[in-house]
Structure 1
Amino acid sequence: MNRKINRRNALLTSMAAGALMVHGGAGRRLSAAESPNEKLNLACIGVGGRGAANVSGVKSQNMVAFVDVDAKRAGKTFESFPNVQQLTDYRKLFDQFGSKLDGVVISTPDHTHFHPAYAAMQLGINVYLEKPLAHNVWETRTLTELARSKGLATQLGSQRHAMSNMHRVVEWVQSGAIGEVQEVHSWVGGSRGMPDFPTDNPPVPPELNYDLWRGPVLNPPRPYHPTICPYGWRFWWDFGTGETGNWGCHILDIPYWSLQLTKPTRIKASGPEPDAERTPKAMHVEYQFPAIDDHATLGKRGAVKLHWYHGTPPILKEKGLDASGNNTLMIGSKGMLLCGFSKRQLLPEDQFADYKSPDEFIPDSPGFHNEWLNACRGGEAATCNFDYSGPMAETVLLGNVAYRAGNFDWDAEALSTGDNQAAQALIKEAYRPGWEIEQS
């Protein structure tokens, strides 16, 4: 089957299944706009593991079809929804149901985020997509711009964005509790990465379509191994983006939202000697964000230096601070804020003993998946829509690029790493024959 995607073929494919309905507003179909209580027609691509949790998040809607290359891993979801169509290939989903779908939820490994999302968007279908949005910066930018141009409802799976503690942290920072923030340290603990090379060659299980699982990866195919598929892929560059890609869009959401960061101009990285095939056990990235003079929310904001660590930041020991339960330290002109997803503390403690929190101005989330469902019906954009989360995901992925290929100045508009050609080669990856993308 020809895997090449282009706009004309996508539209013809959809119309072969039924007349294509035109989206309006936030990308909803007219059939779903008749009543806010009307169920949306949804499909889910990848329904085992994290995908099963996302199915649970949208199960109140009309589940049209489930797509998964691994029938065993998807088995519990299939059993729980016996009347939902089961497919192996996402392209058959769009062939069969493209014109009937209001939205698609994609929870596949990083290397196969882009192709189904791109195909869905070309057909005007709203998309919920797991982090880190895509496998490289070009894919991330392409999906962000396509969603904007088509007015689609999108949501990146940074679910912690809906937590009330996150809201309060943002309110503290934006209300000036610690003054002007010029430096941020964010981290994820642990040392996952650099997995062992498999030494045996077990057969592909009969319930797994490994060729489809491999998808667009151009490099010589890595033989199937259970330590890579279904989960260990995360720590192989061909398929995953390491612990930085895994956690970066969750944790960097805190400074990104608080300081309304967008695109860095300089990226530096350090860590163990890079491995061509496997992601590291530790790394440190330093991003430079320029000052802004007239931001709609923050007004003026100075330049910000953002540090990302896979590992524990040295500054915690220097300042006698505890990493437990925390993942971000913001340093401002009037003090510091140490926080995690569910805890927060202003420092020095004695200085903020009488601090009174500002009135809450960030509303409670109706539920992270519900935000997207509401947006699909023409409501407000979801809080992690791609206009917000796309630049954040790009930043996360740029950290991996700098670690693998060296430091560079970043021209975000041109997607250029300047003189660092090794880094430039990682911004957009080539696809294996049959998976190429033809942009209109």
Structure 2
Amino acid sequence: MSNHTSSKISRRTFGKKTASAASAAFAFQFIPSRAWGNLTKPTMVGIGSGGKGRSDIANSELAGFDIVGLVDVVDVKKFGANKKNNRRENVLIESREAYPDVPFWTDYREMFADMGDKVDAVTVSTPDHHHFHASVMAMQAGKHVYCQKPLTHGIWEARMMSEVASQTGVKTQMGNQAHAEDHMRRCVELIRSGIIGKVRDVHTWTNRPIWPQGFANPPQKQKVPKWIDWKQWVGPAGHVDYNENIAPFSWRGWWEYGTGALGDMACHIMDMPYWALMPGAPKNVKAEQAGATEFSPPINSKIVWEFGPSEHTHSRGVRFNWYDGYVDAHFDPEIWALIKESEEYNHPSPSILDGRPFNEYGCVVVGEEGKMFFHRQNNNWVVNPTSIVDGYSWPAQSLPRARGDDKYKNHNEWFDTIVGKLVKGQSNFELAGPFTEMILLGVLAQRVPNENLEWDHKNMEIVGRPELKKYIQRDYTKDWEAEVSGAGKISFAAL
């Protein structure tokens, strides 16, 4: 609970039969609190203040926001005097100490009810399964939103997030921060200019997961510490008993709360080629994997998405290829960790890499005339053969450049859209939503490996596979249900 919770808040029943009543009672109506573009120092609350949340809040403050509140399920004020804090808990302490005078909540629904029009924007840096609820509640209340990647936990959620962003007109940005860096935008311009010809294949890889994946059963139940609101942490997802091997970091290795290595890293590594090509929705997807269980994503996988032709692709379309995880690894339940038998991890073949050394993650874009090798954190890129640049007519800049150093550009761009210096961020939800859908379709394919799944984008379904609907649109737990009205408004269970 918050440390200043209103006594007027009460629980009301919500269900499908009472959706209209809940909609009428729902407090978070879309009413912008102030005139957009006239703000000079917009107010912001950080939802999720540890881990990535710490840097999202700090970078937003540097961009120009006034931080007026914090939300996190962990209340560091309840840490005992003798508690030995780990690195992640120290980050949470840093957040509270950085903003000692702002209010704190463990439930973002209470924050929205308490703050009303006193907050202009939020960052959402929670586990994946809370992204949808926190972001949509914010947007429908007229708040601008910066949400971490992947944009959502599920495909339906990504579609809805994109639509709500369009309907409300608030300023949004997904937290794939390299999207705002100059070298990525230059590579997008170069590929679109045809430097390697029409693109037929994209290859992307990561050595992750670096957290436990592939476990067959949940860890043993532990006593819930007094400093964490575990019911709120579980929130809209299915219940699991508390264990320190789930939160605050290893939730990524749970189907119920995270999206595995693919969801964690593809929004970064696939970003440049997807943005450059804008291929639309895939026609089909197929995954190979090892180690996935009822509870957990695979230890390693390979995935192929096939797209139809578009402006910058080959006439037969383009294939996106993904490789993740260590080849010789297994999960050890005794120490609750992945054990690597070797340092070999999934990656493209040497023929695709042209004999070049490869990093722990990377990207190769294959065109009719050559290849581009790209690394999102290195301010360089390579085309092969190098002769294709001889006499090449370099394209003029066509994408805007965000201000500031690379570390802060994504937050700066979001801020500048809110204060009226820019029209929109380049990773806004209307663009990030379809990108996230594509990635999460791969997550779905990991659950039904070795099958070619045909995707019906319009109807949001796998053709001929109605039993897979549960992986596209999940059911939410009591008090977290969501209903979509005929007008497209989403109503939630109300506090």
**Normalising by structure 1, what TM-score?**
0.89
Shift of 1:306: 0.9
- 1:226-375 equivalence runs, <5 A: 226-292=244-310, 303-311=317-325, 312-316=346-350, 319-324=354-359, 327-341=362-376, 342=378, 343-350=380-387, 352=389, 357-366=394-403, 367-375=409-417
CA contact (8 A) 1:32 1:40 kept: no
Q: Which runs of 5+ in 2 are unaligned?
A: 1-10, 77-88, 326-345, 404-408, 486-495
CA shift for structure 1 position 322 = 2.1
Check 1:393–1:418 CA distance in 2 against 1; reply closer, same or farther (3 A cut). same
**TM alignment of 1:134-213, pairs within 5 A:** 134-192=152-210, 193-194=212-213, 196=215, 200-213=220-233
Partner-residue secondary structure (3-state), 1:30: coil
CA contact (8 A) 1:288 1:304 kept: yes
The alignment status of 1:69 with 2:73, answered yes or no, reads: yes
Partner of 1:50: 52
Amino acid at match of 2:112: F
Q: Give yes or no for the alignment of 1:432 onto 2:477.
A: yes
Q: Which residue of 1 aligns with 2:138?
A: 120
Counterpart residue type for residue 214 of structure 1: V
- Distance verdict in 2 for CA 1:78–1:110, change over 3 Å: same
Match of 2:490 in 1: none
Q: Measure how far apart 1:2 and its partner are.
A: 4.5
% identical equivalent positions: 31
Shift of residue 194, structure 1, vs aligned partner: 1.8
Bigger shift: residues 351-360 or 101-110 = 351-360
User: Is the contact made by 2:130 and 2:236 (CA closer than 8 Å) also made in structure 1?
Assistant: yes
For 2:182, give the aligned amino acid. S
Contact 1:4 1:438 in 2 (8 A): no
User: What is the Cα-based RMSD across aligned positions, in Å?
Assistant: 2.5
| SS of equivalent to 1:169 | helix
Kindly state the Cα deviation for residue 372 of structure 1 after the two structures are TM-superposed.
1.2
Deviates more, 1:76-85 or 1:47-56: 76-85
Whether contact under 8 Å (1:51, 1:107) holds in the other structure is yes
Distance 1:107 1:175 in 2: 35
Asked whether the 8 Å contact 2:455–2:461 carries over to 1, the reply is: yes
Would you say 1:33 and 2:37 are equivalent positions? yes
**2:408 maps to 1:389:** no
Aligned residues: 423
- Residue 99 (structure 1) shift: 2.5
Q: Distance in 1 between matches of 2:151 and 2:355?
A: 35
Query: Per the alignment, do residues 180 and 401 of structure 1 end up closer, same or farther by CA in structure 2, a change over 3 Å counting?
Result: same
CA deviation vs aligned residue, 1:124-171 (integer Å, no higher than 9, x gap): 222111111111001111111111011121111110111222122112
For residue 435 of structure 1, report the CA deviation from its aligned partner. 1.3
Would you say the 8 A contact 1:270–1:403 is kept in 2? yes
Equivalent residues of 1:10, 1:119 under 8 A apart: no
Corresponding position of 2:444: 401
Q: Which amino acid letter does the alignment assign opposite residue 69 of structure 1? A: V
CA contact (8 A) 1:267 1:402 kept: yes
2:401 is paired with a residue whose SS is coil
The Cα offsets for residues 352-404 of structure 1, whole Å up to 9 and x where unpaired, read as 46656444433321221121112223431111001111111011100010110
Answer yes or no: is the 8 Å Cα contact 2:198–2:313 preserved in 1: no
Contact 1:42 1:61 in 2 (8 A): yes
Q: What SS does the aligned partner of 2:461 have?
A: coil
Q: 1:181 to 1:7 in 2, by over 3 A?
A: farther
Does the Cα contact within 8 Å between 2:195 and 2:389 map onto a contact in 1? Answer: no
Give the 3-state SS of the residue equivalent to 1:409 in structure 2.
strand
Query: 1:287 corresponds to which letter in structure 2?
Result: W
CA distance in 2, matches of 1:268, 1:88: 40
What's the CA shift for 1:200?
Answer: 4.0
Q: CA deviation at 1:34?
A: 2.9
Distance 1:150 1:21, change over 3 A: closer
Pairwise CA distance, 1:187: 1.2
State how far apart, in whole Å, the 2-side matches of 1:179 and 1:400 are: 30
- Mapped partners of 2:445, 2:187: distance in 1: 29
Q: Is the 8 A contact 2:203 2:348 kept in 1?
A: no
* Structure-2 separation of matches of 1:358 and 1:438: 47
For the 8 Å contact 1:290–1:302, the answer to whether it is kept is yes
Please tell me whether the aligned partners of residues 74 and 228 of structure 2 are also in contact (alpha carbons under 8 angstroms). Answer: yes
Q: What SS does structure 2 have at the residue aligned with 1:410?
A: strand
Contact 1:133/1:156 (CA < 8 Å) preserved in 2?
yes
Specify the code of the residue in structure 2 equivalent to 1:338: F
